[in-house]
Amino acid sequence: MIQVIAIFALGINHKTAPVALREQVAFAPEQVSQALRELTTATSISDAVILSTCNRTELYFNGSASQAEQVIVWLAQFHAVDGSELQQHLYLHQDNAAAEHLMQVASGLDSLVLGEPQILGQVKQAYNQARNAGTVNPQFERLFQKTFAVAKQVRTDTEIGANAVSVAFAAVSLAKQIFGNLSKVRVLLIGAGETIELVAKHLQEQGAGALVVANRTYERAVLLAEQFDAAAITLAQVPAKLAEADIVISSTASTLPIVGKGMVEQALKRRKHKPMFLVDLAVPRDIEQQVAELEDAYLYTVDDLQTIVEQNLSNRQQAADQARLMIRAGVAEFAQWLTLQGSVDWVRDYRQRCEDIRAELLAKAVNQLSAGQDAEKVLAEMSTKLSNRLMHSPTKAIRQLGQDDELNKQTMINTLLDL
């Protein structure tokens, strides 16, 4: 049987390296194709895929242990970083462990946010870039197709991505549960920081169209609003605009409440007591606690949402356990396929040797018959020599299995008899 080339997964991620180092070894999308060509030329590996996101840089490749060392050197040189420092933060998985790591990454089990769905698309993009660069051959073709199938099964058959695990996502999910279709709902976002930006992104993904961004600094409100085709106002305009909002989500750095009970009470009167859903993601609070006392105001704080997030994280952990079983099965199927590839070459070589022996002995027998030798003796001699030569190598292999390994010996005998 031929020796199958080892598969490696080499990289750094949010668990092993600080962001400063991750930034240094990240590949820009326009770099990847050239980097793959340089990598395969420098190390003589044939299969290579580069996955580079904000939280990880990983190289999947085949080769020997010495080539794996060459890849590490190449990575440090390509990004002009100190090799010894890089080594301290790298991980290197081989064969089944490499395949398992790839499947965990694609399924969202190795992400900063457990179960996040974007990573599968990023893995597919990395694979397509490698295919276009000519660095994906049959072995990696099979590995990545199996990975995509497993990741799809994880998404379909588990709840890994079904529950909100950030307060921003939880706020939007809760709004969607209350209002259903968000396309006709009017939303007021107070603040222009990272949290509100993430809320706006989730709202847009859920189909919300009418967004207004309010911020103390009007210019920052405009910058954020432009990203989501929203309107921008100042905090001073909030009392006048509040009655138009079905949903209010606030997250600022203010030390004092921005939205008071009286302000909401007046807005509800102008709305003719049509319900208003308010989410306060700020600490200290942006919305006075007494707002919850109003009959048509439904106020949720960051603590309320954190309880939801913690429960959802627990649900995702249970889904992750199911996903790991699916991944182990996928790894086993891929490993079996690799073994069969070696067996196919082994069987082909064995059959060819048998054919060569048969042709050689047949030619000798024909010559003997042409020379007038007794046909019965010629055939007997040929059959004896044929069986002896065909049995020599398999018999030697069976003996090497050892006296105690009867099951493996019988398996090999049955396999050879079926050839």
Structure tokens that stand for 162 in this block: 């079904």
What residues contact 179, with CB distance under 8 A and at least 6 apart? 185, 246, 247, 277
What residues contact 24, with CB distance under 8 A and at least 6 apart? 79, 81
Q: What's the pLDDT at 303? A: 86
Q: What's the pLDDT at 222? A: 97
| Average confidence score pLDDT of the chain | 89
Q: What amino acid positions are annotated as catalytic residues?
A: 54
Q: Which residues are annotated as a binding site?
A: 53-56, 111, 116-118, 122, 191-196
**How many Å apart are CA 297 and CA 161, to the nearest integer?**
30
**pTM assigned to the model:** 0.63
Per-residue pLDDT tens for 141-188?
999 999 999 999 999 999 887 766 778 888 898 898 889 889 999 999
Checking if the pLDDT of 412 tops 60, the result is no
Q: What's the pLDDT at 1? A: 37
- Contact yes or no for 101/334 (Cβ under 8 A): no
Q: Which residues are annotated as a binding site for NADP(+)?
A: 191-196
Q: What's the pLDDT at 77? A: 96
259 pLDDT tier (thresholds 50, 70, 90): very high
CA–CA distances in Å: residue 264 to residues 104, 171, 199, 334 = 47, 19, 21, 60
Q: Which residues are annotated as a binding site for substrate?
A: 53-56, 111, 116-118, 122
**How many Å apart are CA 52 and CA 31, to the nearest integer?**
11
Checking if the pLDDT of 2 tops 50, the result is no
96 pLDDT tier (thresholds 50, 70, 90): very high
248 pLDDT tier (thresholds 50, 70, 90): very high
